[in-house]
Amino acid sequence: MDAMATGEGRREGVRDRSRVCKSKEAEIKRINKELANIRSKFKGDKALDGYSKKKYVCKLLFIFLLGHDIDFGHMEAVNLLSSNKYTEKQIGYLFISVLVNSNSELIRLINNAIKNDLASRNPTFMCLALHCIANVGSREMGEAFAADIPRILVAGDSMDSVKQSAALCLLRLYKASPDLVPMGEWTARVVHLLNDQHMGVVTAAVSLITCLCKKNPDDFKTCVSLAVSRLSRIVSSASTDLQDYTYYFVPAPWLSVKLLRLLQCYPPPEDAAVKGRLVECLETVLNKAQEPPKSKKVQHSNAKNAILFETISLIIHYDSEPNLLVRACNQLGQFLQHRETNLRYLALESMCTLASSEFSHEAVKTHIDTVINALKTERDVSVRQRAADLLYAMCDRSNAKQIVSEMLRYLETADYAIREEIVLKVAILAEKYAVDYSWYVDTILNLIRIAGDYVSEEVWYRVLQIVTNRDDVQGYAAKTVFEALQAPACHENMVKVGGYILGEFGNLIAGDPRSSPPVQFSLLHSKFHLCSVATRALLLSTYIKFINLFPETKATIQGVLRAGSQLRNADVELQQRAVEYLTLSSVASTDVLATVLEEMPPFPERESSILAKLKRKKGPGAGSALDDSRRDPSSHDINGGVEPTPSTVSTPSPSADLLGLRAAPPPAAPPAPSGAGNLLVDVFSDSPAAQPGLGPSPEEAFLSELEPPAPESPMALLADPAPAADAGPEDIGPPIPEADELLNKFVCRNNGVLFENQLLQIGVKSEFRQNLGRMYLFYGNKTSVQFQNFSPTVLAVQTKRVASQVDGGAQVQQVLNIECLRDFLTPPLLSVRFRYGGAPQSLTLKLPVTINKFFQPTEMAAQDFFQRWKQLSLPQQEAQKIFKANHPMDAEVTKAKLLGFGSALLDNVDPNPENFVGAGIIQTKALQVGCLLRLEPNAQAQMYRLTLRTSKEPVSRHLCELLAQQF
């Protein structure tokens, strides 16, 4: 046959002509001549036969692949789709897959041709059509064929190759547009493809099911037993049993890996037989890893190790088989010294996860020397980073000092890319496992000495807070930092720490002539001129503290403050501090000075911000080995939310998220007075926004700050349905239509966005104890135009007026103290009025204060619960509602909502473990209302039955309505 009669011949024709060209320009000239020839053929009077169309379309396709633009020939390619010859149809589909845009006007014509091929029942044509749908993947194609492809997939008469193509095509459409793929009866049938005789169909089906079950796990949960069965057959088979699917003596490695990943989408099987068979499979894989290799080629080891690592991932995911976890750890330990860098990296990464399991933590610790050696000797920086991660994960009280010491030693030569992360980890470990806090101080000062540029503010803020809070370490810290400052080259962060500690506790070492007050001052002032503005400002604060601690230094320090370089400093912050400190030291009496400059009080204990910073740097899940309580990683408070040095809050742009809901909030700043420029910094942290108190306990401090307000107090909110006489303007309109929906969102939570439109965002942060509460309302201007005559009013409450102008992008805050006098059914109304661009704006909302906010959880034994339940047996004391679930029925979500509602959840009370039982007391000033509840979910019917019993009839009905709307 003539060479030009084949596709290869046609491509060679163009390729040979382009090869003889001496330059790029000559090639372009030759290609343009060829394109002109093809264009003339397409436009000629004589109709082209199928072969000629195929030949010229194939040439166009090859010219396009050479990098030249093709702007014609698309219709000819579409015409080829109607041919009954395979080669012509193939070239047409290939051209369309490569050159036709998903938004092309030809898509409808192409869809018609595809529909004809899918209906033809010719398996070759059906596969070509399915491949084209997957390659183009446009939404229009998805809408046209998303319902047909599942039918082809599960049809009994479909060929294996068609099923395989249909599964992969459906997977492509689902990834592109999940909403287009309907879940129906085919979902149950597609699971049974895991039992198909054809391994290609099984492999494609596993990929599809793995993707689908992540969004709809309940629809595909029956796949677990089938996947275990198929995996068992593969693992127990010899390489000769699956000869067509054996890769270098490893039976079906790709399918094995896919099955193991599918099983990681579900918890361990509940059926004992299935679980036993799966454990047997996993043990078999671990046993085969110990066998000598059947081939020395790298492909064999790659396939074998791929299955092994996916098996270990499944074992870690289940975290329920101690024997398997320890065996997995020992197997990974053998890879730590493997000659392959990739295997060492993967072993370290997997062992990081194993270290967080209680069953395998001790086994991981046995490899500490090997990991430390990897940290020192590995040439690949990514492997060294994983080694540092593993040391961090395996650290506990028994090895903390060894690990911290090795990480500090490594830090001196560590790559710059990972120094900051190692600094954070060392700081966290030193704090977490510090029994002797003098060791902690030494460790942090060593960090600053070795890698001062990478020690963030969170690190040295934290050491200052711990020193401030611990009397037993203050003298040692002062002595140590004084010695560190004597080094000729001293990092600026060391100066900051030294300035703060000596300013607070320098008197503890002043008795030693070597660290007398004048010596301390001279040492600090010798660093002054080499520091940044922020550090100089801190040192000026230290100087004024010295005047209070050491009166003998007053004249010297006043001379420094009086110097022209300070009083006329170009930086307004330094100039203002110098003027104010000089005046304070000159005018104030000794007693006044001692009061103003007294020692900093202890900081309230909260989550370390260093851990929060590491979580943000590493992403979700970081720090899990240390953060036992799994608290919110977005917390930015540093041991109490008050930094040792002042900071300011900047005003964001009008398009910024004023409440910090769509991004991590900025670092916490000291509370500032409410005003037009005072933006919300950390609305949704667990800490209250008020200044930290020094009460004996958090609850007592909260209640002492919220003593019942006097009737004439301007901040008293009486949670009572009867409005006060001066409730507000008479023309306040009714609540907006969605007010009830917005209110329902806050029944089980206290923080969030109450209302948001294109102009205004209203955030709420509240806290309730007994019959008292405090609520913060944050009004954010989302525009760039100032709000005029801004007036938020809470009906039945006399409140202080907020600023009447709110600048663009700014925010104002309103604080309400709340006292519940008696049970109530209707929440107070919040009215907001302002003028925007000269036009009046107003809206009325329901304030998120419902009776359950004053719910105090009560623990009860089963006997006490049933006794009290019988006592509340009058018909008017019970409210019951049977309703259909509006949300997916998830036990953990239900539990969280009931706890958010305010009741205590009682375990081992209801005979049915699926039911939820709770108890609590509603605290009001007038009386206490006991409440018992029982929630019975029916997963099959997707229904709930909720029963509440209280000592007051209106309360029972109201609580029942409130809680039912949450499910």
Residue 834 phi/psi, 5-degree rounding, is -165, 170
Residue environment code for 394-412, b if the CB has 16+ CB neighbours within 10 A, otherwise e: bbbeebbbebbebbbebbe
Instruction: Could you list the beta-strand ranges (E) of 672-759.
Output: 716-718, 751-756
- The structure tokens listed for 94 are 């290939």
Whole-angstrom Cα Rg for the chain? 36
Would the annotation count 496 as a binding residue? no
- Tokens representing residue 459 in the block: 């690190």
CA nearest to 703, candidates 817, 626, 616, 783:
817
**Has 51 been labeled as part of a binding site?**
yes
Q: What DSSP assignment string belongs to 340-395?
A: -HHHHHHHHHHHHHHTTSTTTHHHHHTTHHHHHHHHHH-S-HHHHHHHHHHHHHH-
- Give the Cα separation of 113 and 311 in Å (integer): 45
Check: CB of residue 795 under 8 Å from CB of residue 778. no
- Specify the 3-state DSSP secondary structure of 791: strand
Token couple for 907: 């375990």
CB atoms within 10 A of CB 756: 16
56 is in an annotated binding site: yes
323 and 331 in contact (C-beta within 8 Å)?
no
Look up residue 516 and give its DSSP letter: -
Residue 939 neighbours by CB under 8 Å, 6+ apart = 889, 914
46 labeled part of a ligand binding site? no
Residue 786 near residue 805, CB atoms below 8 Å: yes
820 in a labelled binding site: no
- Give the Cα-Cα-Cα angle 521, 522, 523 (nearest 5 degrees): 90
DSSP β-bridge partners for residue 251: 246
Rounded distance between C-alpha atoms, residue 300 and residue 346, angstroms = 17
**Closest to 678 (Cα-Cα) out of 639, 648, 638:** 648
Maximum Cα–Cα distance across the chain: 112
HEC assignment per residue over 532-600:
CHHHHHHHHHHHHHHHHHCHHHHHHHHHHHHCHHHHCCCCHHHHHHHHHHHHHHHHCCHHHHHHHCCCC
Q: Which residues are annotated as a binding site?
A: 41, 51, 55-59
